[in-house]
Structures are given as C-alpha cells and as structure tokens.
Amino acid sequence: MIDRTAQLHDRLDVLESRLRLHRFGLGLLIGVIVVSASLPTPVQKSSADLRVRSIVVEDEAGQARIVIGSLGERAHGDAFGLAINDEAGSERFGVSHFSDGRIVMGFDAPPGVGHSMRDRLGMGVGATGHPFFMMLNNDTTSPLRFFTTDDNEAWIEFIDWDRSGEAPTVRGYQRYGMTEGYAEEGTP
C-alpha cells in the first residue's frame, strides 16, 4: 500500500511539474501577444528594434520546451509558428502558419502511445478559408471530422475504417449536413 501511495505521489509530482511548465508557456505566449499588440507600428526601422528569427525557451536541463519561429520539417513543410515540447523534446502542441495560407493547430499523443505518427487532434483553416476539426485515434485514422465545403455547407462526418487489410481503408461513412434532415451514407 505504501509503494502504491508513493507511486501516486510521484506521478502527481510529475503532473504538477508539467502543468507548471504548460502554464508558463501559455503565459509567455499571452505575454508575447499582448506586447506585440500594444507596440505601435514603426514608420521606419530603428536601431533600437529587436529582431530575431526564432525564440527558444529551454528548461533547467537545457531541453527546448517552447520554440517560436520557423518550424520547417517539424510542421511538415514551410511553416512559421509555435511548438511546445515535452521534457524529452517531443512536440506535443503546435500552431503553424503555412506559406499557402493555411493555419493549423495540433495536439500530439506522447511518444510510444499508438501509431508513431502522433497527431491526434487538429483544427485549422485551409488555404481556401474553410475551417476543419479532426480527431484521430491511436491508429491515426480519423473517425470524426467537422468541416465546411466550397458551397459553405457545414458537415459532421463519421468514418468507418476497415482495418483487415495491409493499410486501413474507408469502409463507409455517414455525413450529416446542416440542411434540415439531410444525411448521406456511402463508401468512397
């Protein structure tokens, strides 16, 4: 019983430590946004300007925990944004703006949980201006999506995946549109 209690205390200490770090990162982000919004737009460059290509916030062990700037390969392309990493340096949260106009926010599973592609929750606005929200399971298939179409219709999509083959394929889906009483079922 004492071992179990000690384990629970240890786990609680780790969770509290992570929560403090996430609060610090969120506070830093809010501070950067507030300061950025309150600064006047300079008419001409001043030698007093501070210009950087990136900002990296490290923890006590020297691990990069918050990265602001060009995210490059870690964001799957030409992206600029913010990434929050866990204590091992693995990205767990990111906001990225891409050169094609997309902006995406993603939440990742811890390393070693489910499929090696760790994206689990994503939302954003595509290059055409359409918003989306997507949940992925530990197989990295997306059983649920919310999205809009080029006709400005809103949809909720439930996807049934067939996992019997070499790679998961869509077996069928149900879509529910915002038009009264409209539903669609089918296969791709």
For residue 113, tell me if it sits in a domain.
Answer: no
User: Model confidence over 63-86: pLDDT tens digits?
Assistant: 999 999 987 766 566 888 999 999
- CA distance to 33, 69, 123, 151, per residue, from 78 (Å): 22, 11, 18, 29
Domain of 24 in residue numbering reads as 1-36
For residue 183, tell me if it sits in a domain.
Answer: no
Strands 131-135 and 103-108: unpaired
Taking 60 as the threshold, does the pLDDT of residue 180 lie above it?
A: no
For residue 14, tell me if it sits in a domain.
Answer: yes
pLDDT of residue 129: 92
User: Model confidence over 111-129: pLDDT tens digits?
Assistant: 999 888 888 899 999 999 9
Q: How far apart are the first and last CA of the chain?
A: 54
Helix or strand run (H / E) with residue 135: strand 131-135
For residue 178, tell me if it sits in a domain.
Answer: no
**Residue 89, both tokens:** 């340096």
Measure the CA–CA gap between 143 and 59, rounded to whole angstroms: 36
For residue 136, tell me if it sits in a domain.
Answer: no
For residue 82, tell me if it sits in a domain.
Answer: no
Measure the CA–CA gap between 5 and 11, rounded to whole angstroms: 10
Measure the CA–CA gap between 171 and 38, rounded to whole angstroms: 52
For residue 2, tell me if it sits in a domain.
Answer: yes
Question: What is the count of structural domains for the chain?
Answer: 1
User: Model confidence over 1-25: pLDDT tens digits?
Assistant: 678 788 877 887 887 888 888 888 8
> In terms of Cα–Cα distance, which of 169, 142, 166 is closest to 156?
142
Residues in Cβ contact with 154 at an 8 Å cutoff, skipping those fewer than 6 apart: 146, 147, 148, 177, 178
Range 99-105, long-range pairs (CB < 8 A, 24+ positions): 100/127, 101/126, 101/127, 102/126, 102/127
pLDDT of residue 176: 73
For residue 3, tell me if it sits in a domain.
Answer: yes
